[in-house]
Amino acid sequence: MPRTARPTIALTVGLAAVLLAGCTDNAGPDSGGSAAAGVTPARVQAGAAASPAAAPAPTGPYVALGDSYTAGMRIPPQLGEPGGCHRSGANYPSLVAKGLSLAAGQFKDVSCSGARTGDLSSPQKVADGTNPAQLDALTADTRLVTLGIGGNDAGFMEVVTECAKENLVDIVKGVITDSDHRISDSPCRDRYAVGNGTDEVQRKVDTAGDRLGQVLQDVRKRSPKAKVYVIGYPGLLPADPASCLPVLGNAVAAADLGFLVEKEQQLNGMLRKRAEAAGAVFVDLSGPSAGHDMCAGEDKRWVEPPFPAQGLAPIHPNAKGQEAVSGVVLKAIKG
């Protein structure tokens, strides 16, 4: 039996356990999901929809919609009801509202950890109560809307978890066959790939896109005078997965880290496409977050690794990340 097998298995089991715990704690992308790390940096489309004679930047009333990447899961101070939404008073919507000098009555944050697109139009049950349908916060007077959603629809956190589990299975097979080599270089890619050239994750992303398109239509009907910003996900992984070895070890096969980067790219690409089709502004975070992924040093990362700093959510933005995102969003809003 290879001497390295036991530590590798232990790390992989630990990673899978942490990720599964995050998924059962109403965690989203959301991680689920995430915006594509390693994509070619794209400029934030702050002024993309603006005419040459720039319109004044929108102010309030401002409504923030979204999942845990918007809510600020486990980032203090945790505010609002229900508590199971894990909504932070230091999340990017709160910081954007502060940056726009909005009075308390001009800002409403209804984001909730674990939210899917369906939870925007229907109540969402969480651990200690129910979050009302998020779209109900919109009115004809609303002038600014930010929306960060889609990672949970795509099941991105579940995909990350499965990648760790598939790698564990592959390692165990290698132990049984007394081999130092994996049965597959990319067991997770093999798990999700199908014969027609697409995969299960892509199908979920496409379905999430259809739902998001309907959501954006609903937002326009409820708040026809609002400027709408669709917020992408920050990068989870670096362009070079090998740089994650000090953080992840062999918990996920290197080729599967590349697979996860591809899925992040697809998710962000879908968000951009749907935003543009609906006349909304897509705010790209993949470019600005380059070098701030979960494998970056503690002083640089915007997203926590699977074993996060004490009290924070694994594979979710930290306070530094929320502050950075608020700066990108404010730049988009102010043009």
Dist CA 183 CA 334 (whole Å): 52
**Looking at the whole model, is its pTM more than 0.85?**
no
pLDDT at res. 4:
38
**Percent of the chain scoring above 70 in pLDDT:** 72
pLDDT at res. 56:
78
Number of domain units in the chain = 1
pLDDT per residue as tens digits for the range 1-30? 333 344 444 444 444 444 444 444 444 444
Provide the token pair at 251.
């918990």
Q: List the beta bridge partners of residue 109.
A: 64
pLDDT at res. 102:
97
pLDDT per residue as tens digits for the range 180-215? 544 556 667 777 776 556 677 888 889 999 999 999
Look at residue 258 and give its three-state secondary structure. Answer: helix
Q: List the beta bridge partners of residue 193.
A: 199
Look at residue 129 and give its three-state secondary structure. Answer: strand
Domain containing 92 equals 5-334
pLDDT at res. 322:
98
Greatest mean pLDDT among 5-19, 92-106, 170-184 lies in 92-106
Q: Closest Cα to residue 43, out of 319, 282, 311?
A: 282
Decide the pairing of beta strands 227-231 and 281-283.
Answer: parallel
Dist CA 229 CA 146 (whole Å): 5
Is the pLDDT assigned to residue 111 strictly greater than 70?
Answer: yes
Dist CA 119 CA 169 (whole Å): 34
Dist CA 88 CA 79 (whole Å): 6
Dist CA 302 CA 86 (whole Å): 18
> What is the mean predicted confidence (pLDDT) over 270-297?
96
Query: Which residue numbers are catalytic?
Result: 68, 316
pLDDT at res. 22:
42
Is the pLDDT assigned to residue 32 strictly greater than 80?
Answer: no
Give the mean pLDDT of the chain: 80
Dist CA 223 CA 220 (whole Å): 5
119-128, 213-222, 253-262, 275-284: least confident range: 253-262
Dist CA 1 CA 4 (whole Å): 9
> What is the mean predicted confidence (pLDDT) over 62-91?
97
> What is the CATH classification number for the domain harbouring 160?
3.40.50.1110
